[in-house]
């Protein structure tokens, strides 16, 4: 079970729909809703791309493209650092840390991380 609100998936799917309309791209194997769901499942549950092959019926390469496209769309929609910091009220705080996040790669002989790692 995925504990992500249905409204969030719908919002992300509408952003994807608008993105596809603006770029006049052809439709892929998954619709906007399933593509948004795929990305949110990956982010929430940290599922590997190979686990999506059976669940969504798409290849790892297609999963990689769909997740990348959705993250680009969500990143353009998200507020910038300055906007996020100016929107804070008194007593609110933001934690900006150097969390090391392992990233799934299709073919890798050693782990890959989101920042420099020694």
pLDDT of amino acid 71:
93
Q: Measured at the alpha carbon of residue 17, what is the angle toward residues 5 and 62, in degrees to the nearest 5?
A: 85
What does the pLDDT look like over 42-88, one tens digit per residue?
888 887 888 888 888 888 888 889 999 999 999 998 887 787 777 77
Q: Measured at the alpha carbon of residue 25, what is the angle toward residues 24 and 29, in degrees to the nearest 5?
A: 145
pLDDT of amino acid 25:
81
Note if the pTM is more than 0.75. Answer: no
Q: In terms of residues, how long is the chain? A: 118
């Amino acid at each position: 079970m995925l504990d992500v609100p249905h409204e969030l998936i719908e919002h992300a799917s509408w952003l994807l729909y608008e993105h596809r309309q603006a770029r006049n791209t052809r439709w892929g194997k998954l619709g906007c809703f399933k593509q948004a769901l795929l990305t949110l499942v990956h982010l929430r549950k940290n599922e590997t791309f190979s686990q999506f092959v059976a669940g969504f019926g798409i290849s790892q390469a297609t999963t990689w493209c769909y997740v990348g496209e959705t993250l680009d769309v969500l990143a353009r929609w998200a507020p910038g650092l300055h906007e996020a910091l100016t929107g804070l009220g008194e007593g609110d705080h933001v934690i900006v840390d150097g969390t090391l996040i392992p990233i799934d790669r299709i073919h890798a002989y050693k782990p890959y991380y989101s920042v420099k790692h020694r």
